[in-house]
Structure 1
């Protein structure tokens, strides 16, 4: 009985092997091809749907970024000292005047538009370096188009005529072209720091201010409120306003570097915060070029400041820089911009022509 069962199974096995090599009936072959085509179509549809969804998401983010850029764009309505479109196209170094206002920061009253932070930033993509030059807010100048009010403080230029007057004054003071400007409300700096989930700082001294404490040389992660306290303390710093400028540069640079990270550029919260706290004459296309071709300029950063001498003039405290010190800063700025050496500027002269000759 056992032998007969085994023979039966062998016959079945041989029959199955034989039929496996026979061609499929026409209907089965057709069904198999249709199933294969159907699977391909399904995968194609999945890929198309994924691409469409990704495209919608990307467009949404692009649209939000452009809307934010459009909101912060504010023209100075003055002619540029040089052709900035050509400068960007050729990836030549550019300059940006950074202006920070204390209006409303830490409960302060409105100051009428004065800027307590003035930094000339130059970006050089070829040397992959960025230079930040701080200007004391009490620097003695003749404000452009308001020379009859001399002596004035450089932080009053913005109050006289907004970014346009500030740009023209700084250009004339150093004999360097200022390609763009960007203003930030220092009270809004708190929101920007929070929007990038805080920044790291390395305090140059130990101090406590407005409920926040910092220890010299200890890397510290700060939120928006702490960052504002870190950037605003002045009177307990042995270097006074110069020490404060250094800490402000740290915060602004930390925010700037984190702002260029993709997750922040695609974050609606950050874009909305930026659009409500900043103004600039950089267009969306300009910002796109900077993000593409100039981001490498942040690989190495250098900072400096204009050193003045504290002097009382008509009962007011001014910082007066010597011609030698002004020339040093002019030489540095022109060098980073790839311009030929030239004599430093003078805000009291009638000549407003800025030397933009390239090396």
Structure 2
């Protein structure tokens, strides 16, 4: 009887051991599959540029947790059209104070287009010289270093929204756009609705500023859904959508360093605003930002980036 009990125990021990082993192998295979999909997506997203900021004496070190800046470009790029950067958002990240300063630059802002030698709308920099000219122009406008860029194809952004399973945003204006109605309050959006939600501008009394608020709502909604546990089951479609629609000069290792060393800052995003006025010059509408306002923006962002200037 005792030997029979021992045999049964050994049998159940073997069965339990096999089940655990199968689970470990399955989890390991799943983890490898996620890792492989991620590295493939990042490889596709990576777009190096030959550029050095003259506002930094040496490159920022993400391993040493130094503050850094990112220019987020939302490019409305359709078939046969290079597009313009209708969304320009500067993110200044400081892990020491665990915060991110987020500044949306109105697309009609009048400034020097660095590398072109003209005064024009700031969003034209991308049409003239891609990411590099956009970075140089924004860097000159704010007088701070721009370390990295992330470019999102807004036409394909709907794929990213659909990949995370849709998003929920807080809408502060009742309006209709693109055949959809968006009431005030919490609104759930799929990809097509999200694209229409971000594109409305003319019926908003705040103009481009209202549009910027909606764009930030979309970006934060994607970040929330992308970080949720349920997204683990959708990782392949998420990575595929990112690979198809996002380009950045950040490398895989730099992304890992940011995830490891800066994740505390992501929970504290402070939105900055630009104060200026609209006017027409030679029949063209521009947004004019006074020098004193540019200095104020510079001082706040320079302090965030810990630049002594």
> TM-score normalised to the size of structure 2?
0.90
List aligned pairs for 1:209-358, cutoff 5 A.
Answer: 209-216=177-184, 218-264=185-231, 267-340=235-308, 342=309
Contact 1:103/1:185 (CA < 8 Å) preserved in 2? yes
Q: List runs of 5+ in structure 1 lacking aligned partners.
A: 1-19, 343-359
Corresponding position: 1:126 with 2:108: no
Distance (Å, rounded) in 2 between the aligned partners of 1:193 and 1:112: 23
Q: Distance in 2 between matches of 1:300 and 1:242?
A: 21
Measure, in 2, the Cα distance between the counterparts of 1:300 and 1:116: 25
Distance (Å, rounded) in 1 between the aligned partners of 2:228 and 2:158: 19
Aligned to 2:76: 102
SS in 1 for 2:156: helix
CA offset at residue 186 of structure 1?
1.1
- Unpaired stretches in structure 2, ≥5 consecutive residues: none
Shift of 1:34: 7.0
Check 1:250–1:39 CA distance in 2 against 1; reply closer, same or farther (3 A cut): closer
Note if contact 2:60-2:66 (Cα within 8 Å) is conserved in structure 1: no
Give 2:112's aligned residue. Answer: 142
Correspondence 1:181 to 2:155: no
Q: Distance in 2 between matches of 1:76 and 1:294?
A: 24
Q: Are positions 1:89 and 2:57 aligned together? A: no
Would the aligned equivalents of 1:65 and 1:265 in 2 still touch at CA under 8 Å? no
Distance in structure 2 (CA, Å) of the matches to 1:297 and 1:257? 15
Deviation, 1:68, is 0.6
Post-superposition shift, 1:94? 1.9
How many matched pairs? Answer: 306
Per-residue deviation, residues 21-70 of structure 1 (Å, max 9, x unmatched): xxx8xxxx6x8877766654554444333322221211111111111111
- In 2, Cα distance between equivalents of 1:319 and 1:300: 29
2:47 is aligned with 1:74: yes
Give me the whole-angstrom Cα distance separating, in 2, the residues matched to 1:247 and 1:35. Answer: 64
In the superposition, the TM-score normalised over structure 1's length comes to 0.78
Alpha-carbon deviations, 1:187-224, whole Å to 9, x = none?
Answer: 112111111122222222211111222233x1111211
Give the Cα separation in 2 of the matches to 1:306 and 1:320: 10
* C-alpha RMSD of the superposition: 2.4
Q: Residue 229 of structure 1 aligns to a residue in which SS?
A: helix
> 1:117 Cα shift?
0.6
Distance 1:77 1:258 in 2: 34
Map 1:55-70 to 2 at 5 A.
55-70=28-43
Whole-Å Cα distance in 1 between the matches of residues 260 and 246 of structure 2? 21
SS for the counterpart of 1:219 is: strand
Within a 5 Å distance, the mapping from 1:195-214 to structure 2 comes to: 195-214=163-182
Query: In terms of Rg, which structure is larger?
Result: 1
Change (3 A) 1:152 1:51: same
Q: Is contact 1:260-1:291 (8 Å) kept?
A: no
**Structure 2: distance between partners of 1:34 and 1:214:** 67
Q: Measure, in 2, the Cα distance between the counterparts of 1:48 and 1:85.
A: 44
